[in-house]
Amino acid sequence: MKEKSFFDKYMVSLAVIICFFVVSAGVVFGTHKLLEYAALQKVVKEKERTEKIICRNSLLLLKQHVFFSENSKKAIKAAKEKEEQEKKKDKEKDKEKKDEDKKKEDNKEKDKDNE
């Protein structure tokens, strides 16, 4: 009877081992890719969340800016009105003073005429 060669003896075993090796490598590689994808998704989600927060914050800042600018416009307007009113008051006061001075001068002239 012819003796089996080394290849014939161990061919099936080797093939099985190689199959297991390839499948295991595939499982490990697949898991690695899956975990990588999950980590990437996590990063993307985190980025989106951060972007949302930044957008919300900048919107709030914009609203604040609008609010402050409107308020400052109002304040400027009120200050101008107040200034005008004060100017008017000053003018009236000046007028009153002039009138009083004129009256005083008239009285003095009258007194002098009487004398």
Partner 1 sequence: MNDHKFFTKKILTENPVLVMTAGICPAVAVTESASSGLLLGCGTLLVLFLSSLPATLMKNIIPEKAVCASHMIIIAAFTAVIQMIFYSWFPQVTEEVGIFIPLIAVNCIVIESVNGFARNNPVLPTLFNGLGTGTGFLLVLILMGIIRESMGEGTLFGYSLFAGDMTLMPFAVLLPGGFFLLSLLAALNKHINRKTRQKEKNMTNNDREEEKISS
Binding site for partner 1 (CB under 8 A): 10, 12-14, 16-17, 20-21, 23-25, 27-28, 31-32, 35, 38-39
> Could you tell me the smallest distance in angstroms from the CB atom of residue 15 to partner 1?
9
How far apart CA 24 and CA 32 sit, in angstroms, is: 12
Per-residue CA distances from 96 to 47, 99, 100 (Å): 72, 5, 6
> Could you tell me the smallest distance in angstroms from the CB atom of residue 37 to partner 1?
11
> Could you tell me the smallest distance in angstroms from the CB atom of residue 48 to partner 1?
20
